[in-house]
Amino acid sequence: MELDVPQSVQAFNFWTLWIMARLWEEFPVPQNFDPPRDVIAFKAEAVRDGRKLGPNELPPVQLFAPTMDWLLAEGFVRGKASLAGVYALVSLTTKGFTVLNEVPRSIASKPDQAAKPLGLLMREAAVSHGVGVAASLVRTMLGVPQQI
């Protein structure tokens, strides 16, 4: 029997995917994150490109800050948080960059697929709003075993 994933964990997975993909794509340039402004821009870009945002739209923006705070505390990223919920000069740490450049074993062993680093897979999932894939990629990033 499989348990439902709580909405807060789904939001954490999505925001982690979105943050890490953006940092990987723009590395080594530090990025600024202003969640409400960034989410509006992300939605506008998706509409302009004709992409669906998934069955539940985007996760609540108020869960962005706890996700970013966790990534900072765990050492995947470094940056500066303001009281207004804006994060400045966020960049990947060696730990974060190393994890994102690894090729997950689940795809490295498949001859019919080109081996892609985790960062590229996260970017592709973020662009396509692959919410279903987000949990798997975040588990890979954190070194958590896939479904038991």
Taking the mean position of all CA atoms in its chain, how far away is CA 92?
12
pLDDT in the model for residue 29: 95
Q: What is the pLDDT of residues 108-142, one digit of tens each?
A: 445 555 667 767 777 676 656 555 566 666 767 76
**Block residue for tokens 């989410």:** 39
Q: What is the pLDDT of residues 56-84, one digit of tens each?
A: 566 778 889 999 999 999 999 999 998 88
pLDDT in the model for residue 126: 66
For the chain, domain boundaries: 7-139
Question: pTM score, two decimals?
Answer: 0.69
Instruction: Return the closest-CA partner of residue 145 out of 76, 20, 135, 6.
Output: 135
pLDDT in the model for residue 148: 39
Q: Which residue has the higher pLDDT, 13 or 141?
A: 13
pLDDT in the model for residue 98: 83
What does the mean pLDDT of the chain come to? 76
DSSP string, 108-126: HT-TTS----HHHHHHHHH
